[in-house]
Amino acid sequence: MHLRTVQSDRPFRRVALVYALPVVAVSVLFYLPKFFETSVTSDGDGGGGATHKLDVRDLRKDGAYIFWYVNLANLLVTGLGPLLALSLLNARIYLVLKRRWKGPLWATTTTTNMNAGDGGGGGRRESEVSIAFNSAKMTRRKSGVRTNVQQAVVLFYIVAAFFVANVLRVCINAGEVAFAGRIQSRINARCKGSNC
């Protein structure tokens, strides 16, 4: 798919439609409930002396919503899911590169004469041409392998940076999922005496 995208007339438009648009659409749909967690109310006549208050709606106080959406869905969709996908895709890239590194660098050659019609005196042998071609091919392949190794290292650094940047958040979120019942019971015990 990437090759077709690069070869099209308008590659950036196609990349935006194929890759960016679905990501933006899924993230907007996933975070849509966040817009219904709170509401803004204003006191006053709408003049300069009005005060605005942010109220938490019942949806945000619901125990099932907190467990399933705030804790578990966020843990899976924004933490473990991307980490697992990045790890699997980079492992697959590494395996393909490893298989490519083990591939043969030399092609088979034959020793027949290229210019058989002129007595064979003036032409280069096919084996000489093939060796010269294979030498250039090997040089290109070595530089290609070097580039592939550099790209693989960059991809692993991306996974490591994602892991380091998100490990604390994922651990806190996993702890909230594991202890959600206790946390909710403590919140309810504190709120019985006051209006929470």
* pLDDT (tens digit per residue) in 38-57: 898 887 765 667 788 888 88
Residue 184: its pLDDT value, please? 75
Q: Model confidence over 123-140: pLDDT tens digits?
A: 555 555 455 555 556 566
Report the range out of 25-39, 53-67, 122-136 with the highest average pLDDT: 25-39
3-class DSSP state for residue 39? strand
The answer to whether residues 54 and 40 touch, using CB atoms and an 8 Å cutoff, is yes
Amino acid at position 132, single letter? A
Mean pLDDT, residues 118-123: 50
Q: What are phi and psi of 41, to 5 degrees?
A: -120, 150
Whole-number percent of the chain with pLDDT over 70: 66
Residue 185: its pLDDT value, please? 80
Neighbours of 79 (CB within 10 A): 19
- Does 69 have pLDDT greater than 80? yes
How far is residue 113's CA from residue 119's CA, in Å, rounded to a whole number? 9
Residue 95: its pLDDT value, please? 83
Which of 25-29, 122-126, 155-159, 174-178 is least confident?
122-126
Residue 7 or 12, more confident: 12
Amino acid at position 176, single letter? E
Mean pLDDT, residues 68-84: 88
